[in-house]
Amino acid sequence: MGRGERIAEALLTIVAVSSVAILGLIIVFIFREGAPALSKVGVIQFITGRSWVPTKGVFGILPMIAGSAAVTAGALVIGLPLGLGTAIYLSEFASDRVSRILKPAVELLAGIPSVVFGFIGLTIVVPLIRDYLGGPGFSVLASSVVLGIMVLPTMTSITYDALRAVPKAYREGMIAVGASPWQTVRMVVLPAAKSGILAAAVLSMGRAVGETMAVIMVAGNATIFPTSLLDPVRTMTSNIALEMGYAAGLHRSALFATGVVLFVVIGILNTAARAFIRGK
């Protein structure tokens, strides 16, 4: 190995170790700052409590957990079918010319700032829900629609790559025995790409769980347990963003503890995604 290669290897090693070290420091910092609240309130009470009243020292994030879950579930109901259908069309049915135009266009959505999606939701989605479905408009449904569009690039891109990774011989074999293109996709291509599609769904879920700005703008941010798609809601990320600017003492620690819970959830989702990618 030449001198240049050894230097390059050393630099890459330093970069890799630095990345791991930074992640470790972030984890230590979040857990250290959130520990006082978790210790005083109790982990179970903190997670299952239904009231969030910082002025009275009451910290329960169950409404925020439920809000995050409701918004994420709604986003997946909207985004996953659209993303899967788009990926199937681009991979299996679209011409090369159409695919070269549409795929970058869909991926371009990932580069649009979340505040822009939130503004569109605020000016279009919220009034439509208020006028035609009732309620204040700021709701689980509005957040789900906005997030469903935001996760579309992730779902489409990863699913497209998974579908294209299926050997061409699989398709040719099915067509040779008389199957139609749709039968080939449904019976061979989709099952063969299942692990990649599941990974796309999990990563899309992680994107929806972690989104903040767009949700703040359209969710209503009420610390109540949602019972309807038209109810206003506050997610865990929104709670942290809205209150961290003025929080102090135990209140600040409770917000970091919310971040701990969110970190654990995202970690579980990322681990599941890695397992699905490996086909486990």
Domain-located, residue 124: yes
Task: Specify the CATH number for the domain of residue 226.
Answer: 1.10.3720.10
Pick out the chain residues at pLDDT < 70.
Answer: 1-2, 276-280
Tell me what pLDDT residue 205 has.
Answer: 87
**Phi/psi at 233 (5° precision):** -150, 155
Instruction: Concatenate the DSSP letters of all residues of 175-216 into one string.
Output: HHTT--HHHHIIIIIHHHTHHHHHHHHHHHHHHHHH--HHHH
In a domain, 12, yes or no: no
User: According to the model, what pLDDT value does residue 1 have?
Assistant: 61
Q: Given this model, what pLDDT does residue 89 score? A: 93
Side chain identity at 56, as an amino acid letter?
K
How many structural domains compose the chain?
A: 1
Is residue 125 in some structural domain?
yes
In a domain, 163, yes or no: yes
pLDDT of residue 8: 81
Is residue 66 in some structural domain? yes
Of the candidates 261, 273, 153, the residue with the CA atom closest to the CA atom of residue 202: 273
The domain of 254 spans: 52-277
**Mind giving me the DSSP string for 70-122?**
HHHHHHHHHHHHHHHHHHHIIIIIS-HHHHHHHHHHHHHGGGS-HHHHHHHII
Per-residue pLDDT, 183: 87
Return the pLDDT at 275. Answer: 74
Would you say residue 141 lies in a domain?
yes
Contacts of 248 (CB under 8 A, 6+ apart): none
| Residue 39 belongs to a domain | no
At residue 79, the pLDDT reads 93
Residue 127 domain flag: yes
